[in-house]
Structure 1
């Protein structure tokens, strides 16, 4: 997730959780904690499947490309939420 989106998410949480109006140093400390919590999260994805090319049918290759696309989409969605992947 881009830094602006992460900050906007924090700001929305800050207001919704009734912290709005707290001293600024509290907000800065909470923001630092928010960032640290995001940095600490890492999702380990299983490796992308590799095709067995020898004797592979066209349907097998289509399935491989579909799985490969899903793997990429999952990684992109997780990283878009500001979470690192392995």
Structure 2
């Protein structure tokens, strides 16, 4: 299960009682949750090094940490 789905399941179990919502409602909420994550903007760390050609280098771990903190899944 990816991070987006894990976050959704945690939220759904916390905020919705299973007896009050059917499977279609859960599916609709999941689609909305996924769409909200797809449009998410993440503030990434600033560059650490710039090469003479203008290429900016950023530490991969810092980028992954920023994306994880926003709850966005990636591969």
- Give me the TM-score of the superposition, normalised by structure 1: 0.57
- Count of aligned residue pairs for this structure pair: 67
Structure 2: segments with no counterpart, 5+ residues: 52-57
Q: Does 1:79 align with 2:60?
A: no
Q: Which has the higher helix share?
A: 1
Q: Could you say what the CA RMSD is over the residues aligned between the two structures, in angstroms?
A: 3.0
- Give me the TM-score of the superposition, normalised by structure 2: 0.63
Q: Which residue pairs with 1:57 in the alignment?
A: none
Secondary structure of the 2:18 match is coil
Residues 17, 50 of structure 1: alpha-carbon distance in 2 compared, 3 angstrom cutoff: same
